Homo-oligomer: A and B are copies of this chain.
């Protein structure tokens, strides 16, 4: 069966024999799948996790490991940061919109402190140390960091800044073998195992199996090319990740990412979204994308970032993901960093400079006019930009974008120019529309019986914006909800091929 095999549901009536059976069947053993498995097992369900690769982890294990949490978590408090669910909500509504699922954001903020405690209880280590410098990730094993521009304009005037990027304590940071994502997934997978959850590897989800009443009762999968039919007595949880590597879906839904997918693993082919859409599931914000920007935050904050016309377009000291989105979506992926020699040396001299972003400047010049000319920018354009910047920088002010005074200093000479055109890549944030219990919603607005989803195959707390940690955050948070809700769906454990089951289509509403 090829990858283009049908994703249409298989009718249970066509199934003569199930290969495997469980109460709750979870497709995908990343962050959402692991958390769903733990909660479903704790609720007394017999749980089976299907994973298409050879082991647990998913994109989560290879990621940086940020979990976006706040509202006054134990870690925030221990490090002296004040936060509240209301303050967190105010920030997320501003940063992740427009069009966010406001109920989900409220719910997520309200539950965030408990969720942090839960992660700690599962054994996820968070070191009580804060890292406050601009950076891609903290340089060592620090546990808390700003990860969404909370302390940068315009958000620092909308909500009280609090760092919410919670990072599992890394080991062997230098080799990357035990990064934050691994240190998140490792203890979770151990808990999963300790709870007696079964896991089957090299099993690829192909289709959902539905009863006569359109209730989801299992999945059809492939293992080494052979069909495997798995019955789910109570429910199926989709936790299969984004569609960043499905070219057709990228073209249809999020074409700005054509040619620049940035998810951690290529297994993110959107299969979970497609099998549910085939049942009439609704989707949301399919165009939304995380966009990473591969410029060193230590240099960005100290210089000015200009577009293809030499104009500034963002506060350079904000979250890199916001710079990425602004560059790709609003500036045609054109970006140059202009920085003077003194700041360049300062920025590259800190131990916080991000090593893999090290590159030499493309241009060096004695004056702005010379640099402008060397870069091929229209005469006067960059000079005008620097003039306006320097005029206010003399007073440590940035009235155009509100960069924080600590980073604002008139640009001197000589100067360097970095060519950051095309320095973006991203993954998709859109997916299945789910409710607060992670039930997959039909386009009619009703939940699809027996079907749950969490993680990046769903549209979570993000609409257009992003903060680092939102994906592991809502994936783990709503993964747990999916596990709880699926395990509680005991009414579904009725005889399977009962064609007399009440039809879901209520003819009375005609």
A331 cross-chain contacts in B, Cβ below 8 A: 330
A277 cross-chain contacts in B, Cβ below 8 A: 277, 280, 282, 443
Q: How far is the CB of A128 from chain B (nearest CB, A)?
A: 38
Interfacial residues of chain A within 1-39, with CB under 8 A of chain B in the complex: 1, 4-11, 14
Asked if A176 is an interface residue, CB under 8 A from chain B, the answer is no
**Stoichiometry, copies per complex:** 2
Asked if A129 is an interface residue, CB under 8 A from chain B, the answer is no
Known: A378-B399, A445-B4. A284 touches B253 (CB 8 A): yes
A79 cross-chain contacts in B, Cβ below 8 A: none
The number of chain A residues with a CB under 8 A from chain B is 69
Taking a contact as CB atoms under 8 Å apart, the answer to whether B380 and A391 are in contact is yes
**Interface code A140-172, partner B: CB below 8 Å = 1, 0 otherwise?**
000000000000000000000000000000000
Known: A277-B443, A433-B252. A505 touches B258 (CB 8 A): no
Interfacial residues of chain A within 226-272, with CB under 8 A of chain B in the complex: 227, 248, 250-256, 258
Asked if A287 is an interface residue, CB under 8 A from chain B, the answer is yes
Name the CB-closest residue of B to A311: B311
Known: A330-B329, A505-B6, A509-B5. A255 touches B464 (CB 8 A): yes
A7 cross-chain contacts in B, Cβ below 8 A: 443-444
Distance between Cα atoms of A459 and B251 in the complex (Å)? 12
Binding-face segment, A291-299, A382-390, A471-479, A485-493: A382-390
A280 cross-chain contacts in B, Cβ below 8 A: 8, 277-280
A4 cross-chain contacts in B, Cβ below 8 A: 445
A284 cross-chain contacts in B, Cβ below 8 A: 252-253
Taking a contact as CB atoms under 8 Å apart, the answer to whether B98 and A258 are in contact is yes
A403 cross-chain contacts in B, Cβ below 8 A: none
Taking a contact as CB atoms under 8 Å apart, the answer to whether A256 and B388 are in contact is no
Asked if A440 is an interface residue, CB under 8 A from chain B, the answer is no
A282 cross-chain contacts in B, Cβ below 8 A: 252, 277
Taking a contact as CB atoms under 8 Å apart, the answer to whether B505 and A10 are in contact is yes
Known: A255-B99, A255-B463. A443 touches B278 (CB 8 A): yes
**Interface code A191-230, partner B: CB below 8 Å = 1, 0 otherwise?**
0000000000000000000000000000010000001000
Taking a contact as CB atoms under 8 Å apart, the answer to whether A8 and B255 are in contact is no
24 A-B pairs within 8 Å (CB atoms) are namely A4-B445, A6-B444, A6-B505, A10-B505, A97-B255, A98-B255, A98-B256, A98-B258, A99-B252, A99-B258, A220-B510, A227-B510, A252-B282, A253-B285, A277-B280, A278-B280, A280-B280, A285-B287, A287-B287, A329-B329, A379-B391, A379-B399, A380-B391, A384-B387
